[in-house]
Amino acid sequence: MSDRNMKTGKNDDFRVAIYARVSSDQQSQAGTIASQIEALQERLAKENLKLETEFSYIDDGYTGATFIRPALERLRDAAAAGAIDRVYVHSPDRLARKYAYQVLLVDELERCGVEVVFLNRQLGQSPEDDLLLQVQGMIAEYERAKILERSRRGKLHAARQGSVNVLSGAPYGYRYISCQEGAGQASYEIVLEQARVVRQIFEWIGQDRLSLGEVTRRLIQQAVATRTGKDFWDRTTVWGILKNPAYKGLAAYGKTRTGPMLPRLRMQRGDPEQPRRAYSTYHVPTDQWHYIPVPALVSEELFEVVQEQLIENKKRNRQTACGARYLLQGLLVCKKCGYAYYGKPVSLSAGKGKRRSYAYYRCIGTDAYRFGGQRLCYNKQVRTDLLEESVWQDVCSLLKDPQRVAQEYQRRLTTRKKGVAWSSIEQLRALIQKVKRGIARLVDAYQDGLIDKPEFEPRLRKAKERLAKLQVEVKTQEKEESRQRELKLVISCMKEFAGKVNNNLEVADWMTKREIIRSLVKQIEVEEESVRVVYRVPPPPFVQAPEKGFLQDCLRRKYSPLWRALLGRKFLAFRYTSCLKETSN
């Protein structure tokens, strides 16, 4: 040990420092770090040492599993600069939770000429002292790992038992009733005013098909306060509400996990240079979540429709910040490349001093500058005025007789194909599990020598084929149920909607047309030789079936000059998704 470290407190040049740390925010709020500081100050007073304020290094609420801590960084910098002679720490695990980190830090400080003093043990006085320090460090590291594992296992068990206790809080629309308030059992209690706002948000997205930006604007206009009392709603807040399965009655536990900290290009605004927790949060797949029953605020059908609408909004931005400028904005999709069509104004004159009164819808994939100078698509652009008029005429024809739409889809929901026995998804999944268990038993029997290879291989092949068929059928059923949920929602208000707008279709202004189209049309697919309108409710046939029945996906109409004028294409037909078709004469 250097002469500098042998100085006593009587020398005015002898400078000491203290270091204290607690890990969790709960410990920080409870003020448990004060007990460490008090013990350190008592030790300094006993040794007649004076502590300057600038040499008090406190990490309040920072984990000891990392080197990156603000106060520890300053302590190491001061030691390297020769500003301190001795540092007092309550115990080795306050310096670091990992034994390897303890050794590195102590060695670094001693090489800088700084003596390290732990209150509960002298350092480096004998081999036995070093051994005891090592044991203490390893026990602290082991204790931390065991605490984390016991906590994780206990919460997981409680979640599987359906206990709300593990959630430790409630989302907007609920109030968390703690164990003390709920006589030993935590629960969610619905807050009526907030629940009304949540239902309104889901209806705006699932039924009115609004964007997140429009939802936030409406909430601000209605002066709806957030949970914290703010009058401004952020899009991420609304998105979090729409993605939370608790609102359909199943709160999820284990949606995220912690892992190694991801590299950051820069500090985020308002965040400290060294984060309190040296880890990053990772999303966990939904099939690994654990669901806990809670009171539902919206129906499961509406929740699923909203999830599909969020995916659709993510693919195609329906309205820019400057507002809507085109009637079909956000609905047009290129069938060839999958990119959206956008409105592009025409700046050229039409001749004789006249200006063009229309623009073009253009595929994003045709813009070479967006993709490094290389076009991804060569699909044609479409005149806005002709396409918008054609789509509007088609939507008006759909609204002529909404009764047939409801009747047709009620029939589709209640009838099945002849000769096909349909099973529920739960039954199919049970069969899949049964087949999987059969395959496992078959493999075990082969390994145990109970059956021979010539018998094993064909039986295994047949079982795998059946499993594949069942899995395909489950996916088909899931798609069918998803479509039916959407149909139920729209059919319920179809008659009322058509009754309100039918009388005013001929005199509807631009904004009214846009709202009606957005309510009925899911997307418009532009192909090389045709344009396909996909309705949110695929319409039924508008005429009686031919003698030989209906032809699927082949609707062709007598094309008017308006339709033929679209870019001089060979033909242009509007086809309905999953609808029965009428052949042309």
| Mean predicted confidence (pLDDT) in 562-584 | 34
Between 54 and 411, the more confident residue is: 54
Say if 217 falls within a structural domain.
yes
Q: Which of 479, 499, 519 is where one domain is finished?
A: 499
For residue 290, the one-letter residue type is H
For residues 450-457, average pLDDT? 83
Q: Are residues 35 and 59 in the same domain?
A: yes
Same domain, 443 and 345: no
Residue 266, domain member (yes or no): no
Average pLDDT, integer, range 427-442: 86
In a domain, 69, yes or no: yes
User: Higher model confidence: residue 298 or residue 230?
Assistant: 298
Does 203 share its domain with 305?
Answer: yes
Q: What's residue 19's pLDDT?
A: 93
Structure tokens at 556: 């062709």
Residue 496 reports pLDDT greater than 90: no
In terms of DSSP H, where are the helices of 81-172?
Answer: 92-95, 99-111, 127-160
Q: What is the DSSP string of 286-310?
A: GGG-EEEE---SS-HHHHHHHHHHH
- pLDDT at residue 539, rounded to an integer: 41
Is 392 within the bounds of a domain?
Answer: yes
Which of 128-142, 193-207, 428-442 is the most confident on average?
Answer: 193-207
The 10s digit of each residue's pLDDT in 526-561 is: 988 888 888 765 443 333 333 333 322 333 333 333
Indicate if the pLDDT at residue 315 is higher than 80.
no
Give the closest residue to 513 by CA, choosing from 343, 399, 356.
Answer: 399
Q: What is the Cα Rg of the chain in Å?
A: 35
Q: Please give the average per-residue pLDDT across 121-131, as a whole number.
A: 62
**Helix, strand, coil percentages in the chain from 3-state DSSP, rounded to 5:** 45, 15, 40
Q: Which residue has better confidence, 69 or 502? A: 69
The parent domain of residue 117 ranges over 4-146
- Say which range, 19-23, 68-72, 283-287, 349-353, has the weakest mean pLDDT: 349-353
393 and 531 inside one domain: yes
Confidence category of residue 583, pLDDT binned at 50, 70, 90: very low
Collect all residues with Cβ–Cβ distance below 8 Å to 579 and sequence separation of at least 6.
538, 539, 540, 541, 553, 555
pLDDT in tens, 283-311: 888 888 889 899 999 999 999 999 988 88
Specify the CATH number for the domain of residue 93.
Answer: 3.40.50.1390
Q: Which two tokens stand for residue 68?
A: 């990156």
**Position 513 in a domain:** yes
The mean of the pLDDT values for the chain is 75
| Contact between residue 100 and residue 134 where contact means Cβ atoms under 8 Å apart | no
- pLDDT, position 5: 44
pLDDT at 349 over 60: no
**Do 68 and 120 share a structural domain?**
yes
Domain membership of residue 162 (yes or no) is: no
Q: Is residue 192 part of a domain?
A: yes
Task: Identify the top-confidence range among 109-123, 206-220, 406-420, 446-460.
Answer: 206-220
The residue with greater pLDDT, 353 or 132, is 132
487: left (phi over 0), alpha (psi -120 to 50) or beta: alpha
- 166, part of any domain: no
Let me know whether 488 and 512 are in one domain.
no
Single out the residue in 464, 499, 534 at which a domain terminates.
Answer: 499
**Phi and psi at residue 251, in whole multiples of 5°?**
-70, 140
Q: Say yes or no to pLDDT of 253 above 80.
A: yes
Tell me the longest C-alpha to C-alpha distance in the chain.
Answer: 112
Q: Are residues 307 and 362 in the same domain?
A: no
CB 15 within 8 A of CB 85: yes
φ, ψ of residue 351 in degrees (nearest 5): 100, 150
Q: Which of 105-114, 187-196, 450-459, 489-498 has the lowest mean pLDDT?
A: 489-498
Concatenating the DSSP letter of every residue in 172-202 gives TTEEEE-TTTTTT--EEEE-HHHHHHHHHHH
Average pLDDT estimate for 479-491: 66
Same structural domain for residues 112 and 20?
yes
190, 294: one domain? yes
114 three-state secondary structure:
coil
Q: Are residues 383 and 509 part of one domain?
A: yes
Number of folded domains that form the chain: 4
Residue 415 in this model has a pLDDT that exceeds 90: no
Do 72 and 129 share a domain, yes or no?
yes
Does residue 198 register a pLDDT over 90? Answer: yes
Q: Is the predicted pLDDT of residue 2 greater than 50, yes or no?
A: no
Distances (CA, A) of 160 to 243, 282, 290, 330: 21, 21, 7, 43
- Assign residue 244 the CATH number of its domain: 3.90.1750.20
Tell which of 482, 499, 516 closes a domain.
Answer: 499
The reported pLDDT for the residue numbered 575 is 33
More confidently predicted of 191 and 168: 191
- Residues 366 and 482 occupy one common structural domain: no
Q: Which residues of 482-499 are buried (b: 16+ CB within 10 A; e: fewer)?
A: ebebbbbbbbeebeebbe
